[in-house]
Amino acid sequence: GGVLSTIVRGANETVAPADVDAAEPLIRDAFAVLVQLEIPVETVRHAVETACRHGVRVILNAAPARALPDTLLPLCDTVIVNEVEAGFYTGRPIRDVREAQSAIVPFARDYDVRAVFTLGAQGSVGFDGRDLCHVPPAPARVVETTGAGDSFVGGFAKAQSLGMGFRASLEFAARCSAATISRVGGQDAMPDLEQMQQFLKFSASPLPDEQVLL
């Protein structure tokens, strides 16, 4: 299924570069910094530049789609967007796996990033600079789809921090989404690591890399 939503920025619009500076000790010691575009672009840019200064990788969920400085994306390690956002950034319609695969490689190479296009019920397409892959969605009993994308992005970041490979991280992210949409709620439905460990124990076919969680 799909979802239509609108955005009321509220407190997010007040997040400033000074808030990034206050968090710099945490950024310096982090494995990665995960950033979205629900805060001002100047704050996003400052967070990305701060992470880069400390040699910390950046995972950018470039959502919601908006105009960005040309210099921002090349500073990121991985850029994750859904099919609508991918269409905005590539200037091409992204309606299925084939179109995503055709668009993602030049996008990733243009900005020198690893890229992931999520496609809802069609799974995700990823390109790490060498290999192009399509990861189907994990089986799930769908209750509510709110938060599925955010759970996917968070799951990918966590998997990377645990040393999983690129495709395995996408597989794990898909399972995080599956766990989320099988419950009612948005943030409340997103699994923590302990809940994912339980979810994977009952998975029909755990991935080899996921054994680090069990």
pLDDT the model gives residue 1: 53
CA 204 to chain CA centroid, nearest Å: 24
150 is catalytic: yes
Residue 53, helix vs strand vs coil: helix
pLDDT the model gives residue 9: 73
Residue with tokens 């299924």, as numbered in its chain = 1
Q: Report if residue 120 sits inside a domain.
A: no
Select which of 96, 150, 188, 192 is catalytic.
150
In order, the DSSP letters of 37-96 are SSS-HHHHHHHHHHHHHTT-EEEEE--S-----TTTGGG-SEEEEEHHHHHHHHSS---S
pLDDT the model gives residue 212: 47
pLDDT the model gives residue 206: 52
Q: Per-block average pLDDT, block size 10, for the chain (214 residues)?
A: 70 96 98 97 98 98 96 98 98 98 98 97 96 89 73 93 94 87 65 66 52 47
Q: Report if residue 86 sits inside a domain.
A: no
Q: Report if residue 210 sits inside a domain.
A: yes
- Domain tally for the chain? 1
The pTM assigned to this predicted structure is 0.86
Structural domain harbouring 147: 138-214
pLDDT the model gives residue 8: 77
pLDDT the model gives residue 214: 42
Q: Report if residue 193 sits inside a domain.
A: yes
Q: Report if residue 164 sits inside a domain.
A: yes
Q: Report if residue 97 sits inside a domain.
A: no
The letter for the amino acid at 131 is D
**How far apart are alpha carbons 71 and 107 in whole angstroms?**
14
Q: Report if residue 16 sits inside a domain.
A: no
